[in-house]
Structure formats: structure tokens, C-alpha cells
Chains A and B, each alone.
Chain A
Amino acid sequence: MNRFLYINGSPRGEKGSSSALILEDIREILKQEGGTEEQVQSLTLPRKTGSSDSAILKKMEESDVWILALPLYIDVLPGHLTWWLREYQTFREALPDKKNIRVYGVVNCGFPEAVQNADALRVLKLFCRKSGLEWRFGIGLGMGEPYKQMHGIPLQSGMKKEILNSYKAIAADLQKKDTSDFGDFYVRIRYPKFLYKIQGAFGWVFRARQNGLKKRDLYARPLLEA
């Protein structure tokens, strides 16, 4: 039996996060690629930390496959996700028998270079090793912030080919019997980096204008002591 758990590690949660859409897309691809899913559950880890929730930790434990999607925050995992995974590790350490869980991680970042996600994937891999989980492989996704705006472009289009192939690799890995390693994927939508950067800058100024701010207001230094 393959019980799938789709875990959203973005503090933006279900609405408004690229991670949520990434999970939705992967789920769709896994379905198309052939029935590996038997029971599917979703979990959005709460942004709030400080008090644990055994229902959440149990849900994480009672699965066979995790697909974990998260944003890159200051080069590694977001703080709240670090907190929850640490809670889970402690919880799992106390269990008398630990059954296997296969883990796939997808990290998306705001910068165009997908490789900026490499260290976050290394962190996930170490987390799995320390917690006795089976790390399979990771996907680092660059230009992740506009994943939402570009969601209308089908995964099958040429622009998203790399992304699609990495999602298909999860399906292939789930189906094969051997444990050989796929290695990590670093992908992004095919879009010129310079255009992305220019549009990014315009985008920020545009959004600031909507908030009634001028471009120069964005440079404020409110925390500086005289």
C-alpha cells in the first residue's frame, strides 16, 4: 500500500503559495503516469510554532511517501518548517519501530538560478538521514515566485519541459523496484534571465505603487539609530 502525503512547507499556506501549485502539478503528473497513489492526504504545516500537535506528527508518520514542497528562505528551509521537522524528528526518535517513508523534496526560490536551492536539498537529505527516512531525490526550482502567474502555461509546453521531466522522474522512481539514485534536478521555466530580472524590478515598483508608495520609498531605512 502506498499512502501519499503531500506536505506544503510554505508559510503562505494553501492559498497564494507556489508550493501549493507545485504539489497540485506533481499530483496530476503522478496520476497520469500510472496508479502509484492509493491513498492521498495533504498537510499544510502551520506557520505558528511553539506548541506541537500530535495529530500532525501522526499524520506525517502514517504515510509511505512524502512529497514535500517548500520555498527557499535565506538559502535553506523556512524557520517554521525547520521547527516542525525538528518536532517530527524528536517524535520519531521515540518510536519503538520506525517504518520506512520515502521522501521527495521540491524547493522553489525567487532567484532565477535553480542551483541556489542546492543547500536546502542537502539540509533535507541530512534531516532524512538523522530521522531514519529514505531520501530519494530533490528538485530545485528557480524562478519560483511567478509559478503562480505562469500556471496557465501547460506543463507539457516547451517552456516547462525541464520541470515536467523532473516531476515525471518522481513517478518513474516510485514505479521502479531498484533503489538506484536519480540525483537531484535543477529546473526552471525557459525564460530569459535578464527579462525575469527586469520584470521583477518593475513588478516590485508596480506593487509598491498599488500600496501608495513611490519607488524611492522602497529604500527607507527605518531601523537606523542616529
Chain B
Amino acid sequence: MKVYVHLMFTVSTLADAALKPVQGAAEGVIEMKYTIIHDCPDPMGQDILRYMQDSFKGIEGLQFIDLQSHPMEPCTGCFNCWLKTPGLCIFHDAAADIVKEIVNSDRVLFLNPLTWGAYSPQLKILLDRSLCRVLPFFETHKGETHHPSRYEKSPIPFLAGYGADLDQDEMELFKSTGQNLNDNLHKTGMETVIIRNRDDFHLLDSFAGTKSMGGAA
């Protein structure tokens, strides 16, 4: 997908949602890379996936990655990705490749069935393997200790959880889970959405396409 970047004096065109003004940037074309990482082991998830495949059809630079078809080694907690081979995991498997795709994306969407208010097992295995995206050192962020990012730029994350009969506690916890993911790994703008039925599918629309450009806070 191509995003047209204009000089700041085109502020009057801000209302046009397809434009993303960047201060001082000369007019040019930026390639955007969108990555959708999905763990959809059930019919509801498959339905949502089909919806996204339809809505995002034709968007350049957008890829889908299916966690169900990629066996991944769970993290061993060895910290080698910090202290022995900085930035690289000891396991050279699908998770390592997917983490690389995330690092090099502009926007990343994680879709998974809400599991006790948090991530599905497959997605969580992948996220644990993302420890290599941060540095071992400590910094204070919003009054709590966190690790600084290894990479200057972080993809803007979009966390989507689905489930047919979710209770209030699960939904509240999932919102908090999204916030934590942002504070820990991304530290950029973040959207967390919960999909309970077909009426909620449209909440995914803003991830890519013309409607997405305002959200890059």
C-alpha cells in the first residue's frame, strides 16, 4: 500500500483521511508493510479471517501469517537473545522468522481467541519469543520498570481478541493486556478490539486501508 506523504503546509488536506502529513518530509511515496498474524483454531476465527481477507483485498504490502500452521518452540527462558547472540533466539524456527517480519512491519495485527482475558497459547508462544525485540536494560515508563526497545521503530500494534460468550472480567482484562503489550514491547499507539459477533467485524477495518492513517499516534 502506498501512502502519499505531503509537506506540513498541506494541513488543509488533513481532513482527507488518506493523507498522512509528516513534518518536514518532502513529497514522496512510502511503502507500508502490514502483517496480520492470526491464530484461528475455530469457525468463528475462520469467519473473521475471511472477513479480513475480503476487506483488505488488493492492499499492497499486506501479508497474513497463520500461527496454526507453524509449530513454534516455546521460550526456554535462557536469555541468550539478550546476552549471547543479542537480538537472536537460540531456536531457528517459524517464530524466529515471524518476529523478523514483525520488526520490519509498519503495522501488525494479532488476531486470537481471548483466553482467560489474555492471549491464546499459540500467540503467547510467539510473543514470548519476541523478548529479543527489547534490550535487557531497565527504563522507567509511566512509573513502572520496562525494557527499552532494541529497534528504533516499532510497528504500530493492533490486538484483536474474539469469543462468542465473553464476560465483563475477560473483556476488561483483555483491554489491560493490550495496554501492557504496548507499554512493554511497542510503546506506540495501540488499538485493542474485542469481537463478539459479526456486528463487531467492522472494528478491524481501521487496521489497513484508507481509514487507518489517522491512528498512527
Where the two chains meet, the residues of B that have a C-beta atom closer than 8 Å to any C-beta of A are 71, 74-79, 82-88, 99-100, 103-104, 115-122, 124-128, 130-132, 135-138, 144-146, 150-151, 169-170, 173, 176-177, 180-181, 184-185
Contacts and interface: CB of A to CB of B under 8 A. Distances in A.
Contacts of B144: 111, 113, 116
Contacts of B85: 222
Contacts, number: 155
A113 B116 CA distance: 23
A221 B118 contact: no
A222 B84 CA distance: 13
A112 B145 contact: yes
A106 interface: no
A49 interface: yes
A78 B73 CA distance: 12
Contacts of B87: 220-223
A33 interface: no
A75 B173 CA distance: 12
Contact of A122 (B84, B128, B151, B173): B173
Contacts of A219: 86, 135, 150
A132 to B, nearest CB: 13
A10 interface: yes
Given A75-B180, A78-B124, A82-B121, A225 B116 contact: no
A79 B136 contact: no
Contact of B145 (A12, A17, A113, A127): A113
A76 B118 contact: yes
Contacts of B127: 74, 79
